[in-house]
Structure 1
Amino acid sequence: MSDAITIRTRKVITNPLLNRRQFVIDVIHPNRANVSKDELRDQLSALYKVEKDSVSVFGFRTAFGGGKSTGFGLVYNSVADAKKFEPAYRLVRYGLAQKVEKASRQQRKQKKNRGKKVFGTERKAQKKAAKRNAD
């Protein structure tokens, strides 16, 4: 990992509605298979003089033959802006949010449909039990 890499940003746009700068990143990495997103976030935070947590990178594609990758980058004005506008899954990747554990989609649908078949007072009891289990 001691091999030098070069980062170039192009198509830089300032997006005041989302409090960020967005751009395409070209990474030149000869003699390396690829560069980690964490390492890119470190270098971009130094380049734009912001905290590492306010930088987001994604969508990288390595060119055929290697040596060059292209992706997308966002630099938010603050970490609070990043938490406000970034998708939850990316915040989880960067350690800024906790992943919400829930049953699989199929299990949730099956539970919903089983509940449809219960009537009257039994249904009220079932809902109370579900609330107690959720708490």
Structure 2
Amino acid sequence: MVTPDVVFVFGFRTNFGGGKSTGFALIYDTLDFAKKFEPKHRLARHGLYEKKQQTRKQRKERKNRMKKVRGTKKTKVGATSKKGGKK
């Protein structure tokens, strides 16, 4: 028996005039497999993934911090969530 939480449907197209739609579905054995292979936007539709909301200002500050460093150091700068603010 397949439960609805392991069925992921997408790509629906409605036929002309309505009444019939065709689409695609992926059915996983377990929820863990679904979380491993499904894209995050499809998991969010099922309520299994919550994207962290970033404000526009936070994105802009992060971008400008990353512009100041070069190479592999960018990942370290981008990962820091809080930095000592200047007044």
Q: Percent identity?
A: 54
Residue by residue, what CA displacement relative to the aligned partner does 1:26-83 show, whole Å, maximum 9, x if unpaired? xxxxxxxxxxxxxxxxxxxxxxx22211100011111011111011100001111001
Which structure dedicates a bigger proportion of its chain to strand? 1
Larger Rg: 1
Instruction: Find the residue that maps to 2:82 and give its secondary structure.
Output: helix
Q: CA deviation at 1:114?
A: 6.4
Instruction: Give the paired residue count.
Output: 72
Aligned residue identity for 2:41: Y
Name stretches of at least 5 consecutive residues in structure 1 with no aligned partner: 1-48, 118-126
Task: Give the one of 64, 70, 77 matched to 1:113.
Answer: 64
Distance in 1 of aligned mates of 2:28 and 2:44: 17
- Structure 1 113/52 Cα, relative in aligned 2: closer, same or farther at 3 Å? same
TM-score, normalised to structure 1, is 0.44
Deviation at 1:95, TM superposition (A): 1.1
The residue type equivalent to 1:89 in the other structure is: H
- Return the offset for 1:99: 2.2
Query: How far apart are the structure 2 equivalents of 1:100 and 1:131?
Result: 12
